[in-house]
Amino acid sequence: MRDRGLAAFLPDMLRSNGIEQVEVRAVERPPSLQRRSSSSQLDALIEQAREAYKTSRVTFWDELMRLAESAPSPVRREIFAQALYHHGETEGQVDTWCELERFLADLEHGKYESLPGRLIVALTSRVRVQRADLELHIPMVDFRFGSGPANDELAMELLQALGTPGYLVDSGRSYHFYGQVPVHRDDFWRFLGRAQLMSHYADQRWIGHQLISGKAALRISSGRDGEPASPRFIAQI
């Protein structure tokens, strides 16, 4: 089931919708929270939050925010500042419009595989349609629970409940979703809002970052050492 990548559905999906251009993002993975931390007290809380995630699967940030309640005020303020950190265009993120057939050729020839260092390439939700002055968005969701055959049915049932036809992808650690039909901007925000209502499964922080950016993006690349892994197609919903 996981022997095919994004080329299993993206070419047909984009061409059938008359897409003329897609937007591709190149960005360096931001430093981890621990690397951004300037406090040994915060470092200790980060470790506690990580352990809580490992043992009880409570989200890392939910646990860190809970720990912030009893932390000294300077540490609490740093936690809040770090929680609001958003890696954007001012820090080397580059979003570029690409002709559809050029993008699909690059995808087919493995241009986005085994990238060096911390480089990531993502497909944003924004697309341009042939013969129309329209900017549409591909519905996208990043989930936060672990991927694998044991959870595939759960992921498919979540997407069936959302009611938007599309494609389920194993991102390596969790799941991505691409809607089958691009939608107008207002419908795109409504879709993200509905996904947010499933916050136990959808990645809330991912949704927050997409709202800040004014568009969504999902990784399409893999790392040279296999981390992050290549996204693999699972099923059409």
Distance separating alpha carbons of residues 66 and 56, to the nearest angstrom? 14
**What local confidence, expressed as pLDDT, does residue 227 receive?**
74
For 13, phi then psi, to 5°, come to -65, -45
Judge if 15 and 112 occupy the same domain: yes
Q: In which residue are the tokens 């990043």 written?
A: 142
Judge if 108 and 180 occupy the same domain: yes
* pTM for the structure as a whole: 0.89
Question: CA torsion 167→58→55→83, rounded to 10°?
Answer: 100
Judge if 69 and 158 occupy the same domain: no
Judge if 172 and 221 occupy the same domain: yes
Asked if the structure places residue 183 within a domain, the reply is: yes
Of all helices (H) and strands (E), which one includes residue 234? strand 232-236
Judge if 68 and 125 occupy the same domain: no
Of all helices (H) and strands (E), which one includes residue 170? strand 166-170
**What local confidence, expressed as pLDDT, does residue 235 receive?**
95
**What local confidence, expressed as pLDDT, does residue 91 receive?**
66
Domains in the chain: how many in total? 2
- Long-range (24+ apart) CB contacts under 8 A made by 130-134 are 130/18, 130/19, 130/20, 131/18, 134/184
**What local confidence, expressed as pLDDT, does residue 22 receive?**
97
The domain boundary residue, chosen from 83, 106, 122: 83
Distance separating alpha carbons of residues 220 and 211, to the nearest angstrom? 20
Judge if 158 and 44 occupy the same domain: no
Half-sphere exposure of residue 17: CA atoms within 13 angstroms, side-chain side: 25
Asked if the structure places residue 89 within a domain, the reply is: no
Per-state percent for the chain, helix, strand, coil, to nearest 5: 40, 25, 35
Mean pLDDT per 10-residue section of the chain, whose length is 237 residues: 86 95 90 77 90 84 91 92 77 89 95 89 94 85 92 95 96 95 95 93 93 95 83 95
- Residue span of the structural domain in which 128 resides: 6-30+95-236
Asked if the structure places residue 90 within a domain, the reply is: no
Distance separating alpha carbons of residues 230 and 172, to the nearest angstrom? 7
Asked if the structure places residue 170 within a domain, the reply is: yes
Q: What is the separation, in whole angstroms, between the first and last Cα of the chain?
A: 14
For 95, phi then psi, to 5°, come to -105, 125
Judge if 21 and 45 occupy the same domain: no
Note whether 236 and 152 are within 8 A (CB): no
Residue (of 86, 47, 45) closest to 65 by Cα position = 45
